[in-house]
């Protein structure tokens, strides 16, 4: 979660013209979104074949699509008084709102809350998992199916540009029901890595701290020396980095390798800090903190980065420290809202089984 906040602020530094920030961005983006898919697979339920599809569908809608809709709707509000919102959307105009709302709800492209593209993609990935899970009977099948999905995803990412939801961004971009299907293939391959690690009981039980720490250092070194080897080709010429939302992966071999090593690094780090209460709180409220990042991503980061960059040297350490501080305080600012939403409307922020004072539970 911290990486998302840091990465999105660093992106603003990059857009303001910092080459150093662009390298930080490339480093983080080399693994942080695949990690989310791996984590989702790691905690996914097994034996889905025994579940009725309608019930599974309803649960996933309630825990993924309802928060997606809610987080998009609350981010529409600020657009009434700030115009400089997002690429390709003229706000506040009727034309702009029609495009933004249609893209959000009919195309699964969250114009008003870009970071939540992941929820749509995860929903599609989970539907794929429902269809495929019955065939995941052995480890080798998990690997084989994962590789197949990765291969299909990579081919589609480059050759099926018409499926790319970022097509909507151009001034006369057309709206089709994309729903992140294009990226869901690659996303599912990482999801299956999580399923595999879970079955192998990776990091389950006790692991010596010094081994974890050593593992983190090794992974960090590997990511550091490999992330910039991926020179593309990227689908967005102005982003020399992996951007899953735009199906921009770069090199088909280097991309998954760095992504896997980086993800293992974070998993090991999580193991090391498993008893930290603050991190546990963040972990149990990931979805809402993730969704609220859009407030900073759309409204604050660009202006703040531009201002900061005009007041400091742009040195590597200054970028890193200011990025970390901004990410820390941004997360801190979301905490009251996390408590508030958890109390009033837990069903709308990914906890559909909870009863709330305003809305009853959405699923049983």
Partner 1 sequence: MKSFPLFVKSILVLLPIIVFLVSYNLRMEKQRFKPHIYTMRAGKELVAKIKGDPEITMDTAEITLYSAGRKLKLSPSYLSGRHLDWKQRDTTLMKDWIVHYSRMVPETAIGLADIKDSTTVSIFYDRRKEAQVAEILHLGRYEGIPKSLVQLRQFVERQGYKLSGYYEEVYLVFEHIEPDPDNYETLLRYQVSKL
Q: Is 240 in the site for partner 1 (CB under 8 A)?
A: yes
Which bin fits 108, alpha (ψ -120 to 50), beta or left (φ > 0)?
left
Choose between 167 and 342: whose C-beta lies nearer to partner 1: 167
Residue 233 binds to partner 1 (criterion: CB under 8 A)? yes
Q: Could you tell me where the DSSP H helices lie in 61-162?
A: 66-76, 94-106, 117-132, 139-159
CB of 56 closer than 8 Å to CB of 123: no
With CB under 8 A as the contact rule, the residue among 22, 119, 124, 156 that binds partner 1 is 22
232 binds partner 1 per the rule CB under 8 A: yes
Q: What is the dihedral of CA 17, 21, 27, 31, to 10 degrees?
A: -80
Kindly state whether residue 345 participates in binding partner 1, applying the rule CB under 8 A: no
Angle between helices 66-76 and 117-132 (to 10 degrees): 170
174 contributes a contact to partner 1 by CB under 8 A? yes
CB of 306 to partner 1, least distance (A): 10
Q: Which of 5, 84, 6, 112 is nearest to 303 (CA)?
A: 84
Taking each helix axis as running N to C, give the angle between helix 32-42 and helix 2-15, from 0 to 180 degrees, rounded to the nearest 10: 160
Taking CB under 8 A as the rule, does residue 14 contact partner 1? yes
> Counting contacts by CB under 8 A, is residue 163 touching partner 1?
no
Binding flag, residue 253, partner 1 (CB under 8 A) = no
- The answer to whether the beta carbons of residues 301 and 8 sit under 8 Å apart is yes
Closest to partner 1 by CB, 204 vs 236, is 236
- Position among 21, 122, 127, 304 found at the interface with partner 1 (CB under 8 A): 21
Task: By CB under 8 A, tell whether 283 contacts partner 1.
Answer: no
Residue 132, CA distances (Å) to 47, 62, 136, 149 in order: 11, 21, 7, 11
Interface with partner 1 (CB under 8 A), residue total 33
Q: Is 58 in the site for partner 1 (CB under 8 A)?
A: no
By beta-carbon proximity to partner 1, the closer residue of 14 and 349 is 14
Q: Is 226 in the site for partner 1 (CB under 8 A)?
A: no
Nearer to partner 1, 14 or 128 (CB): 14
**Interface with partner 1, residue 310, by CB under 8 A:** no
Q: Which of 49, 55, 82, 87 binds partner 1 (CB under 8 A)?
A: 87
Question: In this chain, which of 93, 139, 177, 321 binds partner 1, going by CB under 8 A?
Answer: 177
Residue with tokens 């009033």: 344
* 29 within 8 A of 241, measured Cβ to Cβ: yes
Q: Does 52 contact partner 1 by CB under 8 A? A: no
Nearer to partner 1, 196 or 227 (CB): 227
Distances (CA, A) of 301 to 22, 306, 335: 15, 8, 18
> Which region among 98-106, 126-134, 216-224, 343-351 touches partner 1 (by CB under 8 A)?
98-106
Whole-angstrom CA distances from 114 to 85, 126, 291, 293 are: 11, 20, 9, 9
Of the candidates 90, 252, 359, 363, which one interacts with partner 1 according to CB under 8 A?
A: 90
Does residue number 183 form part of the binding site for partner 1 (CB under 8 A)? no
Q: Tell me the two tokens of residue 325.
A: 């501080």
Task: Report the interface residues with partner 1, using CB under 8 A.
Answer: 14-15, 17-19, 21-23, 26, 84, 87, 90, 98, 102, 106, 171-177, 231-241
């Amino acid at each position: 979660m911290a990486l998302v906040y840091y990465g999105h602020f660093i992106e603003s530094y990059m857009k303001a013209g910092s080459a150093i920030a662009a390298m930080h961005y490339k480093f983080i983006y080399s693994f942080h979104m695949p990690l989310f898919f791996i984590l989702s697979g790691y905690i996914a339920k097994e034996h889905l074949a025994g579940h009725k599809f309608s019930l599974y569908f309803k649960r996933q809608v309630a825990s993924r699509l309802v928060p997606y809709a809610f987080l998009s709707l609350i981010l529409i509000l600020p657009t009434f008084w700030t115009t400089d919102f997002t690429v390709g959307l003229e706000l506040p105009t009727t034309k702009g709102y029609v495009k933004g709302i249609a893209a959000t709800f009919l195309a699964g492209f969250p114009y008003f809350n870009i970071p939540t593209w992941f929820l749509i993609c995860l929903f599609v990935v989970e539907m794929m998992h429902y269809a495929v899970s019955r065939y995941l009977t052995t480890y080798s099948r998990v690997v084989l199916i994962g590789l197949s999905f990765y291969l299909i995803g990579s081919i589609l990412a480059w050759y099926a540009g018409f499926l790319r939801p970022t097509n909507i961004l151009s001034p006369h971009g057309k709206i089709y029901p994309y729903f992140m299907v294009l990226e869901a293939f690659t996303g599912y391959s990482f999801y299956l890595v999580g399923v595999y690690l879970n079955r192998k009981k990776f990091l389950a039980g006790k692991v010596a701290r010094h081994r974890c720490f050593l593992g983190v250092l090794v992974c960090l070194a590997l990511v550091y020396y490999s992330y910039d080897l991926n020179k593309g080709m990227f689908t967005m010429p102005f982003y020399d980095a992996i951007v899953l939302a735009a199906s921009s992966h770069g090199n088909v071999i280097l991309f998954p390798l760095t992504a896997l090593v980086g993800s293992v690094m974070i998993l090991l780090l999580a193991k090391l800090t498993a008893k930290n209460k603050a991190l546990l709180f963040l972990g149990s409220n990931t979805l809402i903190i993730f969704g609220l990042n859009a407030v900073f991503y759309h409204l604050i980061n660009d202006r703040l980065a531009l201002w900061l960059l005009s007041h400091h040297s742009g040195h590597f350490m200054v970028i890193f420290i200011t990025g970390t501080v901004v990410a820390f305080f941004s997360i801190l600012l979301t905490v009251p809202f996390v408590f508030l939403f958890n109390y009033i409307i837990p069903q709308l922020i990914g906890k559909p089984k909870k009863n709330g004072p305003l809305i009853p539970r959405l699923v049983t």
